[in-house]
Amino acid sequence: MNESTIKSALVKTLRLALPGFVVIRHEDRFTAGVPDISVTGHGLTSWWEVKFANPRLHSRDVQRLTALRLASAGVCFYVVYQLEDDMRRVAVVHPHWIEDWESHVAWGATIFAHQHVATFVRQTHLRGR
């Protein structure tokens, strides 16, 4: 298991769980700093940076700066999947809190619950932020 396989599974779940939404996975060597996934639906585009903390999270400064700018201008969150010993969990965290993410979880689950992340995404779009 690695970050790429987690992102693939999450994108597949988002596309199935959010009919009518446009889910795009962004990654290539020319888009450094751009979050991994954008979701457009209900008149809103949100940005999602996926991290695999195995067991610790590593993020580049350009990613954090871009995520902070997107969150300030619109909607952007980190989705952190953590694997530590036998524990698996997923958390949604605002970019402002990513350095101390474990203390500032906006939403979380004690399993790798892609469907629950999709529900959080939908609720974010229904709230409009």
Going from N- to C-terminal start, the domains of the chain cover: 3-127
pLDDT at 56: 75
Question: For every one of its 129 residues, what pLDDT tens digit does the chain have, with 9 covering 90 and above?
Answer: 788 899 999 999 999 999 999 999 997 666 678 999 999 999 999 999 999 987 678 777 899 999 999 999 999 999 999 887 777 888 899 999 888 877 877 666 667 789 999 999 999 999 875
Q: What are the beta bridge partners of residue 81? A: 52, 90
pLDDT at 110: 65
**Per-residue b or e along 83-102, where b marks 16 or more CB atoms closer than 10 Å to that residue's CB:** eeeeeebbbbbbbeebeebe
In CATH terms, is domain 3-127 a member of 3.40.1350.10?
Answer: yes
Q: What are the beta bridge partners of residue 14? A: none
| Predicted structure pTM score | 0.89
